[in-house]
Structure 1
Amino acid sequence: MRRDSVIYLLPTEITQDDVGNEKVVFGAPRKRLAERKSVRQSEFYQAATTDFKPEIVFTIWVHEYKGEAFLWFKNQTYHIIRTFEKNFRELELVCEVRMDGNSYIGDF
């Protein structure tokens, strides 16, 4: 597998503000090398029946993934909407852009 992109897996914690609204707090990012791919046409059209909008796919080693729901790539936070274990070594992370304004901002 060719590793052509640097991504940052973002562990999260759900907290509440003073009023009780839930807020996602990002933990320390974990830098990983990944292979970037386009979303397959079939997956794009299947997602059209839901609220998901898959935009990009990253492939990483299975042992590198710890269940993160978000990743950061090129100044954009992505929500991992689906994972797919291609084989015993590789895992695909199907992602959509996070649009709720709660983006990761950190030092890399």
Structure 2
Amino acid sequence: MMWRDVVDLIPLINVKNGYGEEVEQDGIPKTVYANKKSVRQTEFYQAMAAGMKPEIVFEVMVADYSNEPKVKYGEDKYYRVIRTYSANDEHIELVCSIYPMEE
């Protein structure tokens, strides 16, 4: 299989801020090869009914994915993993929506 794209899988970690409160921040990104795919029509409508808006699907190797909730694609496009799907033991699909940017 040809891997056409590259994504960064980003974990979120809890750290203490200057006030001693625990906040989430990005962990160390892991760059992996991926295939960008379109969201299937049935999946799109099922997700919309549940209040989610899937935008894109990335297929990666199961061995590369460690439940990271955030994906960076390109220079500045961030996505949140809303669901995963694994049809076999080698590949997993990450169904993603636009990541909410901090105000």
TM-score interval, normalised by the smaller of the two chains: 0.7 to 0.9
The CA deviation at 1:71 is: 0.9
Instruction: Give the % identical residues.
Output: 36
Number of equivalenced pairs: 101
Correspondence 1:62 to 2:62? yes
Give the match for residue 42 of structure 1.
42
Give the match for residue 2 of structure 2.
2
Q: Gaps spanning 5+ residues in structure 2: where?
A: none
**Separation (CA, whole Å) in 2 of partners of 1:98 and 1:16:** 23
**Separation (CA, whole Å) in 1 of partners of 2:64 and 2:77:** 20
Aligned letter for 2:77?
Answer: Q
TM-score normalized by structure 1?
0.84
TM-score normalized by structure 2?
0.87
Q: Gaps spanning 5+ residues in structure 1: where?
A: 103-108
Correspondence 1:91 to 2:81? no
CA offset digits 1:2-57 (Å, max 9, x no partner): 2111100001113464385x632001110001011000000000011122110100
Computed over aligned residues only, the root mean square deviation of the Cα atoms, in angstroms, reads 1.8
The CA deviation at 1:60 is: 0.7
